[in-house]
């Protein structure tokens, strides 16, 4: 059973501002449906020193080992680091970009909803 869209049912059809809000809201919802797989976090490229006293990586930053790739994110207030293979980097970068896109869309949806609810409450 499909949920009735409460925002359009409660909005008076004569208010052009609410009609504009509804159209914008529907456009943002359509963008949500286009999202791909997502994951929060960041993909980092690191170059490391090995700690061996005779290795050049300890004295010359340009000769550090790597690059090594990590996906880092927060879970339960702790930072989690996951080492990635070079083949997985593009997939995780796409996933984190989709996460940022989702967050932007949700922020815009919430702001638009707040304005529409405020306008409905005044009517």
CA distance 33 to 101: 12
pLDDT above 50 (res 1): no
Average of per-residue pLDDT across 61-79: 94
**Phi/psi of residue 14, nearest 5 degrees:** -85, -15
Residue 97: what pLDDT?
97
Average of per-residue pLDDT across 25-45: 96
Residue length of the chain = 123
Sequence spans of domains, the chain:
20-32+39-122
- For the CA atoms of 63, 89, 71, 47, the dihedral, rounded to the nearest 10 degrees, stands at 0
Q: Which residues pair with 81 in a beta bridge?
A: 72
pLDDT above 90 (res 11): no
Residue 108: what pLDDT?
97
Q: Does the predicted TM-score (pTM) go above 0.85?
A: no
Those residues with Cβ within 8 angstroms of residue 46's Cβ, 6 or more apart along the chain or in another chain: 66, 67, 68, 69, 70
The pLDDT confidence band at residue 7, using thresholds 50, 70 and 90, is low
pLDDT above 80 (res 4): no
């Amino acid at each position: 059973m499909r949920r009735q869209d409460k925002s359009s049912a409660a909005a008076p059809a004569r208010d052009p501002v609410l009609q504009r809000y509804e159209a914008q809201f529907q456009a943002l919802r359509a963008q949500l449906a286009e999202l791909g797989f997502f994951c929060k976090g960041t993909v980092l490229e690191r170059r490391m020193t090995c700690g061996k006293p005779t290795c050049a990586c300890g004295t010359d930053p340009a000769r550090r080992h790597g690059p090594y790739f990590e996906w880092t994110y927060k879970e339960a207030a702790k930072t989690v680091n996951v080492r990635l293979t070079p083949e997985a980097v593009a997939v995780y970068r796409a996933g984190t970009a989709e996460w940022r896109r989702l967050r932007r869309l949700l922020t815009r949806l919430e702001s638009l909803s707040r304005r529409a609810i405020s306008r409905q409450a005044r009517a």
